[in-house]
Chains A and B, each alone.
Chain A
Amino acid sequence: MNEVLKAVGNIFLKMPKGFVVTFKHLFKKPITLDYPRKKNPMTARYRGKHYLERYDDGTERCVCCGLCAAACPADAIYMEPEENEKGERRAKMYEINLLRCIFCGFCEEACPEEAIFLGQVYEFSEDNRNSFIVGKDDMLVPHPRKDNPLKRIYRRVRRVYGVTDKSK
């Protein structure tokens, strides 16, 4: 009987005691993520895949000055300038080799026209090496752009005035 009681006691007293952590976690928010279906929001300063900004009227900001390429420690950027119909300088070709890129963000720092940014995108696996060389068309933000203009302004403000990220 004693043994029975002991066993019952084990079941009803010790097991819950042992499971208390498990049960506690049942009601907590999970730490892991259901990754492909859900995605972790990156911090605002995350340095992911590059994108090229446009002016509000849709013209490209990049003037192909070559400073990003000069600043790049991995020599991952290649560009060729050309003259557009107005006689202004524009990029004919702008390529980043993502395999070489070390995502240091120097290009963003160097850019005098605020054209190149390192974005939030971190998923860019490919099945062949050539696809890692991304061109201007892949990087330019669409026009008219879909994202919230307020967000854009916030990004500019953060960049220009160095506002610290509150989400951390």
Chain B
Amino acid sequence: MAEATKKDMPTETAENMVTLTINGRETTVPKGTTVLQAAKELGVHIPTFCWHPKLKPVGACRMCYVEVEKMPKLQVSCALEVMDGMVVHTDSDTVKQGRKAIIEFILLNHPLDCPTCDKGGECDLQNLTFAHGVDDSRFEFQKYRFVDEGMTTTFDDRRIGPEIILNRNRCILCYKCVRANKEAFGEYDLGVYERGSIAEINAAPGEQVDNPFSGNLVEICPVGALTNSDWRYKIRVWLTSTTPSICNYTSSGINTLFFKENHHNKIYRVTSRPSDDIDDGWLPDVTRYGYQIVNSPDRLTTPLVKKEGKQVEATWEEALEIIGKRFGEIKERLGGVCVGALVSPGLDNASLHAASRLMRVGFKSNNIDFRGDYRYLPESSESPFMRLCSRPFKIADIDDSDVIVTFGSDLIREHANEYLRIRKAFNFGNARIFAVNPYQTKSADVSSLELVYLPGTEESVVNGICLAAIEDNLVDAKRGEKFKLKTPTKSSAEAAKVSGVDRESLRTVAEALAEGKKITFFTGEIITRSRQRDLIASALINLHRLFGLKGRAQMSALARYANSKGAEKLGLLPNPRTVVVDKLRGLWGEYPESPARNTDAMMALIKKEEIKGFLILGSNPVMLYPDREFVKEGIEKLDFLVVADLFETETTELADVVLPLASWAEYEGYYVNLEGRTQKAARAVKPIGQAKPGYEIASLIGEALDPEMFQNEQQIHSEVRQLLELDSVIAYPDDFLEVKADTDGSQGDYNLPLYIIDDWHHSGHLTEKAPSLANFASEPYIEIPPQLASELKIAHGDSVRVESEVGKVILPARISEHTQNNVVLVPRNFSSSNVTSLLMRKKRVDRVKISKVDE
């Protein structure tokens, strides 16, 4: 709370400051600070169990006692606000006695099973007992034991979720897990039952703790009451060492810490590395357990070369020789423009830049892109959508925004970290939060209003908001007139009718946007994946202009992958911005003049057999590109395909040469998060087998082509640095943009909109290899809203036939808890789902029909 209160303070003026004395040292802190925090800032340590910097204080554990002069009793410092002239003692005899008593009370019923407890070695209770407790107990009775039905021993470990194991006997009832679950994550699957000395933390009856943030509960538990199978009985914490890193699955660049063991060259777990600017110390499960792919036994360890139609193991030399020869042939015979590359946005800056250099200098080709899973990408880097992408955005600014609009984003699945920030703004601030989505989302539980529009009518919603503002004179009338010239929609009522959102809601949003002093407005994957993303972006830029949001709003299309923003800045696009092109020309002395193609265009050209050779670094277009047949047919026609990846995937199956790629934990890399902040992921372990990082692979291929192409690492890094220094923000145009009407009619029988999403616990195509995440979900499924399910008599777990114009798959059904309207969702993370075969790249909204499979 103090975090938020501190921010609410207008300035640190004298009247907002309070002077107090702690242990004889005077300190001045802002009003509203707690004594605990003031002491912390002074470097005075006060022990705690139930206090967490990001949660409201409850004062349950009573460990943080301090003595305040003129107060008769001991005070709990975590909840005691500072007052002027306070004299605090944190180390007096009374305080020591109080702490000793608390430790004694806690240990009364706490089992002494430290040898088998996974928390041993990093346990708050162990440490504080050592520091403040006594070594003998005065308790002469049987300790209270929770014994499960049917169990004869007091050994009480029960699984309360796919990953989480609860030991109620060890619990000291600090309530941190329950509070975090409720306050920070908005989940209610964990609760307190019974009362007094037999109170217990447990999963809600009949429920499992499987929320996408459940891993945090284990991390914040001060004792070993909540543990997870990831770390269970694997290694002692004192045998591990830590390496700072960042998350490779989310675009926020969540700061993490690897716990690794050098002799085994293995990572044992990931914990948070709290950073107030980015993550507040909370990790989504995909970040926490996603590291497991690094240790996976299925990793590619040697290069594979296709010989007589079969991929066989080969050495790097062999593989590079073949690559050099075949690419060299294509380059000589047809020119470098017949080679293309697709690079994963999960790779670090150096790898991206090395790949860019390989294509642009080595092949003199502009055919390079990093966006492997979007259809109809903008050709120009100054298209409205790319302008929207380039806008500055700061995660920490969400906290004190007074209006927050999320547009077209299933937030928890895409930007879990930003969702937690919005929750924080909801808990501690008084933000008005709006969620605008084509279907109801779980993340909208904090919004004051959720607008659900008909799929494929995004621009009508935006225009509706603008028109509602004009009609109700919430904005400058002159600007309104100009705006009206550019939009085909005539009135907000019309927009409301087209989009299916009632006018009142549109007006409410308009009002908030007109009044807001600090607005956060961002779009998510539903917009980014839409074929009409430029149209929607134009509408949004118009909205920005109409409401005069400049200076009081941050409005951006959020990047999705760990280094999407970096790829954008480094010019991994077919047509980078002119500044970037100029810079690259300056650095390399040359820049290809050949036509530039994005992923779509490259695939089309491959199909036309104009592109003959292709290099894929870390991407899996066959699985993720929203038109499987199109990509697959294309790639099969290639003369020569080189794929580097961590695992064997659908794409590596088709490759002539497969190269083992090192994961982000295996080399030092720099990543640019969605704010444009460059962060380092240090090397935690040695690459497995013969795997090599992306920049090395790109350099080696370059070398195989032309020995003079060799680039050393320092050179790459210095070029990257210079490129990142360039200003990446593209200004909005000076006038309103034309927003054409675009209708998306229903398609005959196929009338049920289908959205491809990430599972709650997965991201991209690699995470299904992580066992802990597979515990949450390992099979594809289709999420069906309840009323549709009851119409079609589909029960949870039934097989459902999903048909589109181009494909058909059979998936088990899940009845969605959150989606109430007529939309079905299918996760894209499971290679067995084949879901992209349902999609057509020409469609704005994919529509399917579903029916129950009769046994």
Contact = CB atoms under 8 A, between A and B. Distances in A.
B105 interface: no
A113 interface: yes
Interface string B225-246: 0000000111110110000000
B155 A65 contact: no
Interface string A85-103: 0111100000000000000
A83 B120 contact: no
Contacts of B155: 86-88
A109 B853 CA distance: 65
A90 to B, nearest CB: 8
Interface of A: 63-67, 70, 80-83, 86-89, 112-113
B715 interface: no
Contacts of A89: 115-116, 233
A66 B120 CA distance: 10
Interface in B361-383: none
Contacts of A63: 115-116
Contacts of B116: 63, 65, 88-89
27 contacts: A63-B115, A63-B116, A64-B233, A65-B114, A65-B116, A65-B120, A65-B236, A66-B236, A66-B238, A66-B239, A67-B115, A70-B236, A81-B234, A81-B235, A82-B233, A83-B232, A83-B233, A86-B155, A87-B155, A87-B157, A88-B116, A88-B155, A89-B116, A89-B233, A112-B114, A112-B115, A113-B115
Contacts of A81: 233-235
Nearest to A82: B233
A71 to B, nearest CB: 12
A70 B233 contact: no
Given A65-B120, A83-B232, A89-B233, A70 B238 contact: yes
What is the interface residue range for chain B against chain A? 10 to 19
Binding site secondary structure of chain A: loop
A38 B235 CA distance: 45
Closest 3 CB pairs of A and B: A65-B115, A66-B236, A89-B116
Contacts, number: 32
A66 B238 CA distance: 10
Contacts of A66: 236, 238-239
Output the residue of A67, A89, A112 with the most chain B CB within 10 A: A89
A61 B488 CA distance: 79
Nearest to B229: A83
Contacts of B235: 80-81
Contacts of B120: 65
Nearest to A92: B233
Contacts of A86: 155
A113 B120 CA distance: 15
Nearest to A86: B155
Contacts of B238: 66, 70
Interface string B91-114: 000000000000000000000001
Nearest to B113: A63
Given A63-B116, A65-B115, 20 more contacts: A63-B115, A64-B233, A65-B114, A65-B120, A65-B236, A66-B236, A66-B238, A66-B239, A70-B238, A80-B235, A81-B233, A81-B235, A83-B232, A83-B233, A86-B155, A87-B157, A88-B116, A88-B155, A89-B115, A89-B233
Contacts of A88: 116, 155
A80 B239 CA distance: 11
Interface string B257-288: 00000000000000000000000000000000
Contacts of A65: 114-116, 120, 236
